[in-house]
Amino acid sequence: MRIFDPHIHMTSRTTDDYEAMHAAGVRAVVEPAFWLGQPRTSPASFLDYFDSLLGWEPFRAAQYGIAHHCALALNPKEANDPRCTPVLDELPRYLVKDRVVAVGEIGYDAMTPAEDKALAVQLQLAADHGLPALVHTPHRDKLTGLRRTLDVVRESALPLDRVLVDHLNETTVREAKDSGCWLGFSVYPDTKMDERRMVALLRAYGPERVLVDSAADWGRSDPLKTRKVADLMLTEGFTEDDVDRVLWRNPVAFYGLSGRLDLEVTAPDATHEGNSVLRGGE
């Protein structure tokens, strides 16, 4: 079984998690930029974080045979903090990098005018850079948040079929599916979705354009939830092809829209990688 976790915050996880994820079948992840659990106080803090998502994390992942890509953005919560918003001016030079496969996570937290602006600006950045967007739906007042999100996307230069709307549940899946966007479900130990409800939604709405993620971070979360959903799908009568579609082919298709997905993992012990005359000597 091959698994692609399309939304996981590995920077908040231990190296043991990478080992366990590989053992469970995870071969690729996308790490979207988000909040650290404590407010940042300057754009420089974002830049260090982005550098880590383009340096240390792919290295750490490759040690365990996992291809790591990232999505970069100013997150919805900190879009409200004027100390952080100047990072929007730095984003363009990051969005051209290899292994950046989306703009994200963007969207709404408290649905403020500042969040409206950051969402619109970053949807435009995604369109300008040929990237899809990972859009988070708010935890509070979710259905209203989804509708407002879809309205802003419709007004943007980014087509809905290049948008993954995440953290969906029973109350938001229908309208999201009807919009033509990709459908993301985060499976958590307590909040968001659980395995049983996820399988029920797959039965009701089908596997088309559905992505399942663990969204694991520093909170109570589980980086093996993708595998647990796959196992329950099989127990409940879904085929191995259905599992492969939801847990691998759908995320590959969505992030593949960037043209930057590279699922071949180069072992980090290959310190000699590349051209044999590259190093030279003297």
Using only the alpha carbons of the chain, give its radius of gyration: 18
Q: Is 278 in the site for other proteins (CB under 8 A)?
A: yes
Among 8, 30, 54, 229, interactor with other proteins by CB under 8 A = 54
Q: Is 266 in the site for other proteins (CB under 8 A)?
A: yes
User: What single string gives the DSSP state of each residue in 103-152?
Assistant: EEEEE-SS--HHHHHHHHHHHHHHHHTT--EEEEPPSSSHHHHHHHHHHH
Q: Is 264 in the site for other proteins (CB under 8 A)?
A: yes
Q: Which is nearer to other proteins, 97 or 139 (CB)?
A: 97
Which residue in the block uniquely carries the two structure tokens 């969040």? 115
Tell me which H or E stretch contains 8.
Answer: none
Residue closest to 27 by CA, chosen among 72, 68, 70: 68
Q: Which is nearer to other proteins, 92 or 206 (CB)?
A: 92
Q: Which is nearer to other proteins, 38 or 271 (CB)?
A: 271
CB of 94 to other proteins, least distance (A): 9
CA atoms within 13 A on the CB side of 253: 16
Q: Residue 241 CB: number of other CB atoms within 10 A?
A: 10
Among 82, 113, 237, 280, interactor with other proteins by CB under 8 A = 280
CB of 258 to other proteins, least distance (A): 9
CB of 159 to other proteins, least distance (A): 22
Q: Is 93 in the site for other proteins (CB under 8 A)?
A: yes
CB of 231 to other proteins, least distance (A): 30
Q: Is 277 in the site for other proteins (CB under 8 A)?
A: yes
Which residue in the block uniquely carries the two structure tokens 């950045």? 125
Residue closest to 258 by CA, chosen among 26, 5, 30, 4: 30
Nearest-10 crossing angle of helices 142-154, 113-128 = 40
CB of 128 to other proteins, least distance (A): 11
Q: Is 96 in the site for other proteins (CB under 8 A)?
A: yes
Q: Give the interface size with other proteins as a residue count (CB under 8 A).
A: 33
Q: Which residues bind other proteins (CB under 8 A)?
A: 51, 54-56, 58-59, 63, 92-93, 96-99, 259-260, 262, 264, 266, 268-282
